[in-house]
Amino acid sequence: MTPSIRQHMAWFHTWFGLVIGFLLFSVFWTGTLTVFDKEFDRWMHPESRSVQSQCCSLTAAQLETVLLKVHALAPEPANIRFHLPTARTPMPSVRITEHDNTLKTYYIDPDTGKALPGEYTLGGTGFFFPFHYKFNIAWMNVGYYMLGIAGLAMLTLLISGVVLHRKLLAEFFLFRPKKNRARSLLDLHNLSSVVALPFYITITFSGLLILFSIYFQWATLTAFDGDKAASQKAMSGFINLPPSGFVENDNQKLAALKRIPAIVQAREAAWSAALGEHTTADAINIRNLGDSNALLEIRRVFPERSIGMSTHTDTFLLHTDELLHAHEPKPIKSFTHWITGLHFIQFDHAALRVLYAIGGLLGCVMIHTGFLFWLESRRVQHHTRKLSGFAVVQALSVGGTLGMMIATAAFLVANQLIPHHVANRATLETDVFYSVWVLAIVWAFINAVTYKSKQWLTPTWLFTALCALAWLLNQINTGGMVTALRLQEMNSFAIDVGLLFMVASGVYAARKLTAPARVSRLNKEAFECN
Amino acid sequence: MQLNDWLLSLGMALLYIGLLCTALSQQKHFRHRHWAGRFNRIGLRSPGVRRLTGTFALLGSAGLMVFSEGWGFGLVLWLMAAAALAALLAWMLAHGN
């Protein structure tokens, strides 16, 4: 008898999910953390939390102070990229690329001109975010391709899961915690999958769409006869002029920098008039400052109350103030920006971002319970037949899911403990993350092959303890929640609340793990062996 | 609180009621220990009536969210809130059944 389509899908869903699930968990986990990436930046870099003046807008004088400070920090930069202040990043941040491609990042106080080196920590935007989209693997774009495979796998797993789940609507709200463990886990897997199914599909599809130009470079280039510059100009308004060779002197550079605030204000006024609402720029790029072909790019990447991104990009010849190109995306590109904006979640809507984080956590629960169901449904069979697959999958599940969570908590603890003056401090933090993750996987394997008990309980307690420690250290080092409330600094406050939530969840999970298991006499022995 | 916040809160409450009505119209939760009696007392006795009420409440909540937040934010917010509240509701119903 030939297997039905549902049986094919069941096989695919089980085994493909098992193989790719670890990758997907790390994407979902870091994606959930990335929803609050800038909040993590503030939590991990306390000096960048607030400024003396009123938050979130720069006067012309403040912008000039910042620009002149940047010039003092890097007189001959290849590229300067500013992010103007927002409620989530009260200090303007600057990324300076030198001609030898070295990158320096700073936060600059617009009142005093004081520069804080961004190398203090990678934080959320420098570590969790790139981990989410390329696993921090830059070599040959391998990380991007791994993510592409994971994304496609996720879409197919969602489709096969829908085909598999016979009573998707009839059992929409079904969860039976008092049934046997395998049944409860399957219910939880189904529940966490079905309730957020539109979110998973949208977030996976939009994720693939964002990296489309990396996977299929030829697709966009073909439309422009292989002309990369024309494609970039049409798609994102990006223009680059080759250096003219005429070098501007220091006075000319300073004069050009001092004119920038007026140009920015003029463009903001023009955008506001065109849209009929108050509009501000949020990013400024300066390329080849010392050359007479230096370019100034003023962008509106993340409008405040809009899902769509990158609405305006205006490019000027810096030393003559000549407007070279005012880019407004075509309708189809605007639609793409709307879809990608759904994924980037940089809009100013705290409630929606919290709901996104809940959606991400539901995704983690979905993947984790998928592993647990695989293990529970095979526990007796593997134990009876002395198969080693169970131990391997259990070890990978512990290391790949809880191990990653423990590594994240250890990363936050390291951030609080490593002294300020230590050289390569940010690298040391990431070393802690990877070391703890590897140790967790090794521990899980040793534990699994030696058939030790408490495979899940010990890591759960460890994660809980590390989250509590990270929270406590922040209270001691920076005043924590009390100081944050006093200063109305809600970014680091949100992370402290998140850590407390993780502690509460960890304690709840650990208590459930220590509760006597409702197991049948048949598989009691199997439970005791693992 | 501004009018938008009130509308949003009302939309969330309506969304939760809509999901609850829909859940209690399903076979697995129709005779729920805590909720079935209360629903019967206010006239929502049959699965059809509960489902219809739930559908109207869900549509009403979507309308309120779109009205207070605009089309884009409103619909995305409704979808995400529905996912979170449905998970919460399933948890709550499981522990009272």
Residue A171 lies in a domain: no
Question: Residues A385-413: what's their mean pLDDT?
Answer: 92
pLDDT of residue A520 exceeding 70, the answer is: no
Same domain, yes or no: A364 and A460? yes
- A chain contacts of residue B72, beta-carbon cutoff 8 Å: 306-308, 338
Q: Cβ neighbours of residue A384 under 8 Å, at least 6 residues apart?
A: A526
Tell me what the mean pLDDT of segment A411-436 comes to. 95
Residue of B80, B87, B95 lying closest to A191 (CB–CB): B87
Residue A170, pLDDT score:
87
Same domain for A40 and A85?
no
A159 in any annotated domain: no
Assess B8–A contact: CB distance below 8 Å, yes or no.
yes
Q: How far is A143 from chain B (nearest CA, A)?
A: 29
Residue A94 has φ and ψ, to the nearest 5°, of -130, 135
How far apart are the CA of B86 and the nearest CA of chain A, in angstroms?
6
Is residue A291 exposed (0-12), middle (13-18) or buried (19+ Cβ within 10 Å)?
Answer: buried
Question: What average pLDDT does the segment A140-154 reach?
Answer: 95
Residue A177 lies in a domain: no
Give the residue-averaged pLDDT of A197-214: 93
- Which residue numbers in chain B have pLDDT < 50? none
A32, A17: one domain: yes
Supply the pLDDT for residue A367.
97
Q: Which positions in chain B touch A347 (Cβ < 8 Å)? A: 73
Q: Which helix (H) or strand (E) holds A82?
A: strand A79-83
Kindly state whether B87 is in contact with chain A, defined as any CB-CB distance less than 8 angstroms: yes
Contact yes or no for A128/A33 (Cβ under 8 A): yes
Q: Do A175 and B91 touch (CB under 8 A)?
A: yes
**Which of B80, B85, B97 should one mutate to test binding to chain A, selecting the residue with the greatest count of A CBs within 10 A?**
B80
How far apart are alpha carbons B64 and B78 in whole angstroms? 10
> Does pLDDT of A529 surpass 60?
no
Element (H, E) at A34: helix A5-34
For the segment A135-139, the average pLDDT, to the nearest whole number, is 92
Asked whether the predicted pLDDT for residue A524 surpasses 90, the reply is no
Same domain, A369 and A484: yes
Which residues, 6+ apart, have CB-to-CB distance to A19 below 8 Å? none
ipTM: 0.95
Q: A506, A467 in Cβ contact below 8 A? A: yes
Whether A40 and A103 map to the same domain: the answer is: no
Of B8, B29, B80, the CB nearest to A199: B80
> Range with the lowest mean pLDDT among A99-103, A193-197, A491-495?
A99-103
CB of B4 less than 8 A from some CB of A: no
Which of A171, A305, A342 is opposite residue B76, by nearest beta carbon? A342
Looking at the structure, tell me whether residues A323 and A453 fall in a common domain: no
Residues A13 and A61 in one domain: no
Say if residue A287 is in the same domain as residue A413: no
Minimum mean pLDDT range among A26-35, A124-133, A286-295, A432-441: A286-295
Inform me whether the C-beta atom of residue A344 falls under 8 Å from chain B C-beta atoms.
no
> In this complex, which of A173, A177, A198 lies closest to B29 when CB atoms are compared?
A173
Q: What sign results for the dihedral spanned by CA atoms A106, A111, A113, A114?
A: negative
Most confident of A68-82, A219-233, A472-486: A472-486
Whether A495 maps to a domain, the answer reads yes
Structure tokens at A194: 């079905």
User: Could you report the per-residue pLDDT of B59-79, keeping only the tens digit for each?
Assistant: 999 999 999 998 889 999 999
Q: Which of A289-303, A352-366, A414-428, B62-76 has the lowest mean pLDDT?
A: A289-303
- Last residue of some domain: A331, A366, A399? A331
| Partners of residue A356 in chain B, C-beta under 8 Å | 80
Q: Which residue of A has its CA nearest to B76?
A: A352
B94 Cα to chain A: minimum distance (Å): 6
HSE value, Cβ hemisphere, 13 Å, CA-based, for A258: 6
Residues A206/A161/A137/A333 CA torsion (nearest 10 deg):
-10
Residues A2-18, mean pLDDT to the nearest whole number: 90
DSSP string covering A257-313, please? HHHHHHHHHHHHHHHHHHHTS-----EEEEE-TTBTT-EEEEEE-S-TT-S----EE
- Whether residue B88 lies within 8 A of chain A, CB to CB, comes out as no
Asked whether the predicted pLDDT for residue A449 surpasses 90, the reply is: no
Amino acid (1-letter code) at residue A396: L
Same structural domain for residues A451 and A357? yes
Q: Read off the pLDDT of each residue in A452-477 and give the average, rounded to a whole number.
A: 93
Q: Is the Cβ of A362 closer than 8 Å to some Cβ of chain B?
A: yes
Domain that holds residue A270: 48-127+226-331
Q: Is the pLDDT of residue A523 over 60?
A: no
Has residue A382 been placed in a domain?
A: yes
Percent of chain A past pLDDT 70, that is, above it, reads 96
Q: Using CB atoms and an 8 Å cut-off, which of residues 199-228 of chain A contact chain B? A: 199
**Cβ separation B86–A173 shorter than 8 A:** yes
Q: What is the residue-averaged pLDDT of chain A?
A: 89
Q: Which of A35, A173, A193, A311 to mutate to test the interface with B (most CBs of B within 10 A)?
A: A173
Q: Is A136 left (phi over 0), alpha (psi -120 to 50) or beta?
A: left
Contact A179, A202 (CB under 8 A): no
pLDDT of residue A530: 43
Chains A and B form CB pairs within 8 A to the count of 76
Residues A18 and A54 in one domain: no
pLDDT reported for residue A236: 82
pLDDT band per the 50, 70, 90 thresholds, residue A310: confident
Contacts of A192 in chain B (CB under 8 A): 87
Number of domains in chain A: 2
**Cβ neighbours of A199 in B, within 8 Å:** 79-80, 83
Residue ranges of alpha helices (H) inside A35-177 are 37-44, 60-73, 123, 129-134, 142-164
Residues A450 and A484 in one domain: yes
For residues A414 and A295, membership in a common domain is answered with no
